Amino acid sequence: MDYNSNPHLPAPNPDDYHFEDWIHTAHISNDPFGVNAFSGYSTNIDFASDLNTSSAMESFSRPPLFRRLSAENSGEAIQSLTISTAFQESPDDLDRPTPDTILISSDSVAFHVAQASLLNASDNSFGGLLPITSEYKIERVRYLPKVQSSELNVMLHIIYATNWAHFCPSLQVIIRAIDHLPKYGIAPNTWITTTNPIYDLLLLYVPIYPLDIYSLCGRHDIYELATAVSPHLLSFDLSSLTGEDAESIGSLYLTRLFRLHRSRVEALVDSLMPAPNLHNPTQDCGYESQKTLLSAWTMAVTYLSRCAKPDITTGDIRNVFDSMTTQITCKDCLKGRDDRVNKIVLNWTLTKITI
């Protein structure tokens, strides 16, 4: 199943992720490196000839990267790799470990990273690509053929817990990036927490795409974020879920969502009875007259029991009882009605709204 083609998200748009947001115009030249070119590389190494793209574990066999990319671009010669702005050889963040490794995305963007940071985050040596023991920079390159630069950018932001002040990835890109993490031994539920800036970024998308983010949480058991998302799904019609949606969410989180919906409706229905207490008979309203209130109350309870939704508002609850009792004029009856409705509304505001 392809979780990246979720029908709830808009169709992919190449403009969703602007290159200028996170890469710059500096390039790694395709010419042989000289002594003063890109310090740290061995001299006279031709990056285009020596970087292997067919196996990320062996960086020195053919076919050459640029030759392959040129073929994919109708014979147009490609002379450079673009460098990530956020992950350069000399990072702006002085607290970040000094880069000693280059990751290259499928669309040929270079990211300078610290091998130790990736190894510390991963439980499978970053998909078996690390560690690299060579001290030569040209040998400290790993190619990720299935990861686009926009996705790798998000992955590294998560690993480094870097803020998103200068970047604006689309939710599609974020979801694809997070779905890549397990392959590289990085558990999303360990990293997507309230202490990581990615958490707050995802929260910005919750009001618009709650189901997509909840599905993401279900796939990777991100309980904390799923809890924050779940109130936004109270208005969602669970009967409209497709088999693909259910598979994406997973049985555990799907059960939790159904249980939340059911428990809220049950809590409301349970609070509707008993009916208001009868007041002492008066000259204008005896026990027989008060049966009108009891009858109207029963009608309101029947309606709410059949039609109440998990997201019904307190205002709607009041309106149902008000509309069913419009013919009642006795002030004591109306006071009894209002006292009971107030208790129902208070109980509803205290009813759990999260999984």
List per-residue pLDDT tens for the chain, 355 residues long: 454 445 566 555 544 444 444 455 344 444 333 333 344 333 333 343 344 333 333 333 333 444 444 444 444 444 567 899 899 988 777 788 999 999 999 999 999 999 999 999 999 999 999 999 998 888 899 999 999 999 999 999 999 999 987 888 999 999 999 999 999 999 999 999 999 999 999 999 999 999 999 999 999 999 999 999 999 999 999 999 999 999 999 999 999 999 999 999 999 999 999 999 999 999 899 999 999 999 999 999 999 999 999 999 999 999 999 999 999 999 999 999 999 999 999 999 999 999 9
Using an 8 Å Cβ cutoff, are 191 and 159 in contact? yes
Does residue 161 sit within a domain?
no
Beta-bridged to residue 143, according to DSSP, are: 104
Cβ(328)–Cβ(294) under 8 Å?
no
Q: Tell me if 22 is assigned to some domain.
A: yes
pLDDT at 8: 64
pLDDT at 190: 98
For residue 233, give both structure tokens. 């799904």
Inside any domain, residue 210 = no
Whether the ω angle into residue 131 lies within 30 degrees of 0, i.e. cis, is yes
End residue of a domain, out of 121, 145, 169: 145
| Within-domain flag for 239 | no
In a domain, 138, yes or no: yes
Query: Which among 82, 112, 145 is the end of a domain?
Result: 145
Amino acid at 296: A
Query: Which of these, 107, 59, 111, lies nearest to 86 by C-alpha position?
Result: 111
- Copy the structure tokens of residue 338: 């209002």
Whether residue 288 is contained in a domain is answered as yes
Centre a 10 Å sphere on the Cβ of residue 301 and count the other Cβ atoms it contains.
19
As given in the structure block, the two tokens for residue 308 are 């109440």
| Helices 171-180 and 210-220: angle between axes, nearest 10 degrees | 10
Q: How far is CA 285 from the centre of its chain?
A: 59
Residue 4 located in a structural domain:
no
Number of folded domains that form the chain = 2
What Rg, from alpha-carbon coordinates, does the chain have?
Answer: 30
The domain in which residue 66 lies consists of 18-145
pLDDT of 35: 34
Region of residue 41 (left: phi > 0; alpha: psi -120 to 50; beta: else): beta
Report pLDDT for 51.
42
Q: Which of 104, 127, 145 is the last residue of a domain?
A: 145
Helix (H) or strand (E) holding 129: none
| 295 domain residue, yes or no | yes
State whether the Cα torsion 264-266-272-274 is positive or negative.
Answer: negative
Q: In the β-sheet with 101-104, what is the strand arrangement from edge to edge? A: 23-29, 80-84, 109-113, 101-104, 141-143
∠296-299-305 over CA atoms, to 5°? 140
Q: CA 313, 314, 318: angle at the middle one, nearest 5?
A: 120
What pLDDT is stored for residue 137 in this prediction? 82
